[in-house]
Structure 1
């Protein structure tokens, strides 16, 4: 049988045919047989199918002779944390993050939370799971429940100086996903440390039926509740997470959604304020603001192909303190180079306290200097043909060409990056400009490219 739920970076599929408890069992069994870990951690998000899939995966791992620490209902980063913090050799999170209701999936890591992607072991797991030919083991593994939350929250506190946090009011929107229990634990920790932060909680209770829609703040229609709560409560910042809370989205005190691109600049600033000279890894879609911030705060910017396995590899290679993607994935050296949706907002609170500036003021300057289009997706028949068409169209303007990821064309006053999606038949376009050199509105370039792509 062919398992179509195996993707480039993780496992994801429609419930029933593509992913069910039988397939989850085989994945657990294959993981155990290939890596032969002594112990692994496992967790799952709040989806109604997640607990059943987790238990099936545990049976597969146990039958392969693996001891399992069941972390219960977790976000992906709690599994990452367990995989590098505890004496274990790997981790699995059952989650479909922001995918539709009838989907689920898994994210797998090895020892020290190293990612398992198609080119680093996921294909081998797929082949063995498809064959169903497993070795018998002399001694089956056991399972015990483990509460990672107190240790995880203690780790999160190492990213801030609690004594320097100034009074602040935050709207937090877990989207009825897995983030709420961590926010509650941080709130308790803040009370103990006398950190003057007030949390206004919306869509807070974990509920796998998602009464307020799938938690995906990238969808414009999902942002209203956070925006309105910020304005209504006069909050300093709004925070919203996706289902497994490995992505965090920020709203300023006016309720305005902040593009992930500018958050990369903000977090780079947070680290470089603490220690100049550090290396910051970024993706190639939008870059000028990141260059500007990193140079301003005496750091070193390093470009990587988009995607978590590439960013993590590049960070390890250069010992980078932080890596950021405009898609709201943020990676941290002290978090075993993994992405976290909790560390970013703690750092943002730290920067707001240190600079005594509202979030809007911190990002407005960036937005004014380097306006961007945000990512625009186009359905096209053939992504490579369309990329070549764009390339040919601008060839006589002699742009600086960069092929780190898709094609980036730099015209000095503006630049574009166009790339094929790894997961869908889509072309992803990003455009940015330098306001000091370019009076043309971004929309003019968007219109020109839209016509070219769709024409």
Structure 2
């Protein structure tokens, strides 16, 4: 019972994550398999796994649980999370499970789960019920034969799909640094390389669950220099880095400068609206002004949604939105079953660079000047609710608009901020932006951080 109590720690808001084997082990993976079938009643489920050293044994246990419950399994092997999404909707499966811990530390692993059509399973759509079955256990009612097991290579079909988002004839020879972080992105790059006119400079390219250069997470400042330095040394036109399961991609311009995901959202929204006039664009509330202005000028409709992939995907489906973007580098596409992809965005950005004959820095510099932003800043606090309430009280007399779509968003005449608490740790996350005034943005960011620190 003590062990199963620890299992509760791995059920998060959107997925399953925990330390192996203390919190997540093969016994639990087996239980997740039989519980998934008991709850969702699928007949055919796809499974895949990332490069982590614990992923194969956890996947084997998961598959046993699925098959012992009479569910047929299609194993697509080592892959990125979006390849499970693709397999689920492309092959018409009843569900999909990806074994991955993305950018978490070495001793972690986890699972991301979807149902038919690659619809996410989250705390609001079945994950809490799955947790109850896994923790409390139940009597398996299935008495039929064991489910079948098939291996399926979907790489060529997946590659064709992601390339369909661009017109290859628009592309021109460019030099591009690609950093897979020894995660799962490398094989995909290899699969599409011959179709592209780019000179690809590959670093940390081979999948390696030992992560010899560290956990692939380009949001960590010290991890960015590996990509940035090669861009500068080689005179490359662009640098791209991915996290471990490559559902996020990060951009570096020709100077090796890291480009915040916020500005990429605006860039992609404009590109997609050119092909889908009058479309709806979903965005998160952390940084908004640049996205809203771009979308409205392009004839689209910006719609604000709570942060998080399950919320974004749900809103996209409800609105039939053509694209959704989060400043955290998640990009969602209607034709990709409203799911996030870390491969489609960089292809679209390079297509824009080629069509317009501009570098990435030139494509975003005006927007960065128009709406300078702090980027997300995390602070550990004793009581997140108290801090947010105190911040609101301090600024309420000055605000011209306030909302609670996700945490606290307050707008003023020429600057705004969003402050939200973490779902998993005693941390609050701050984002600040201003209208054409970088000094004001920096001043208000410092002011807010000092206030937060003074509150403990």
Q: TM-score, normalised by structure 1?
A: 0.97
Deviations 1:178-202 (A, max 9, x none): 00000000113x1xxxx32111100
What's the offset of the Cα at 1:354?
Answer: 1.5
User: Paired residue for 2:331?
Assistant: 330
User: Paired residue for 2:26?
Assistant: 21
User: Paired residue for 1:352?
Assistant: 353
What's the offset of the Cα at 1:135?
Answer: 2.2
Q: Superposition pairs for residues 1-150 of structure 1, below 5 Å?
A: 1-2=4-5, 3=7, 4-133=9-138, 134-150=140-156
Deviations 1:411-438 (A, max 9, x none): 0200011011122211110000001xx5
User: Paired residue for 1:442?
Assistant: 441
The worse-fitting range, judged by mean Cα deviation, of 133-142 and 95-104 is: 133-142
Aligned-partner Cα distance in 2 for 1:332–1:45? 22
1:152 aligned residue (148, 158, 178) = 158
What's the offset of the Cα at 1:243?
Answer: 0.3
Partner SS, residue 144 of structure 2: coil
What's the offset of the Cα at 1:169?
Answer: 1.2
Deviations 1:375-425 (A, max 9, x none): 011111111110011001012213311111111110020001101112221
Identify unmatched segments of 5+ residues in structure 2: none
Aligned-partner Cα distance in 1 for 2:263–2:330? 12
**Pair 1:331–1:448, CA change in 2 (3 A):** same
Aligned-partner Cα distance in 1 for 2:413–2:337? 36
Partner SS, residue 38 of structure 2: helix
User: Paired residue for 2:263?
Assistant: 262
What's the offset of the Cα at 1:447?
Answer: 1.3
User: Paired residue for 2:307?
Assistant: 306
User: Paired residue for 1:413?
Assistant: 414
Aligned-partner Cα distance in 1 for 2:110–2:274? 38
Aligned-partner Cα distance in 2 for 1:307–1:68? 28
**Pair 1:439–1:172, CA change in 2 (3 A):** closer
User: Paired residue for 2:365?
Assistant: 364
Q: Superposition pairs for residues 171-190 of structure 1, below 5 Å?
A: 171-188=177-194, 190=195
User: Do the aligned residues in 1 keep the contact of 2:369 with 2:438 (CA within 8 Å)?
Assistant: no
User: Do the aligned residues in 1 keep the contact of 2:372 with 2:438 (CA within 8 Å)?
Assistant: no
Moved over 4 A (4+): none
User: Do the aligned residues in 1 keep the contact of 2:118 with 2:337 (CA within 8 Å)?
Assistant: yes
Aligned-partner Cα distance in 2 for 1:59–1:275? 44
What's the offset of the Cα at 1:58?
Answer: 0.2
The worse-fitting range, judged by mean Cα deviation, of 73-82 and 291-300 is: 291-300
The worse-fitting range, judged by mean Cα deviation, of 108-117 and 350-359 is: 350-359
User: Do the aligned residues in 1 keep the contact of 2:276 with 2:322 (CA within 8 Å)?
Assistant: no
The worse-fitting range, judged by mean Cα deviation, of 379-388 and 125-134 is: 125-134
**Pair 1:5–1:439, CA change in 2 (3 A):** closer
What's the offset of the Cα at 1:446?
Answer: 1.3
User: Paired residue for 1:429?
Assistant: 430
Deviations 1:249-290 (A, max 9, x none): 011111110001001011101102223211110000000110
User: Do the aligned residues in 2 keep the contact of 1:63 with 1:137 (CA within 8 Å)?
Assistant: no
Partner SS, residue 377 of structure 1: strand
Query: Is 1:163 the equivalent of 2:169?
Result: yes
Aligned-partner Cα distance in 2 for 1:36–1:67? 11
Q: TM-score, normalised by structure 2?
A: 0.97
**Pair 1:439–1:142, CA change in 2 (3 A):** closer
What's the offset of the Cα at 1:439?
Answer: 7.0
Aligned-partner Cα distance in 1 for 2:227–2:141? 51
User: Do the aligned residues in 2 keep the contact of 1:270 with 1:350 (CA within 8 Å)?
Assistant: no
User: Do the aligned residues in 1 keep the contact of 2:238 with 2:251 (CA within 8 Å)?
Assistant: yes
What's the offset of the Cα at 1:118?
Answer: 1.1
**Pair 1:398–1:5, CA change in 2 (3 A):** closer
Identify unmatched segments of 5+ residues in structure 1: none
The worse-fitting range, judged by mean Cα deviation, of 438-447 and 293-302 is: 438-447
Partner SS, residue 396 of structure 1: coil
Supply the RMSD in Å over aligned alpha carbons: 1.0
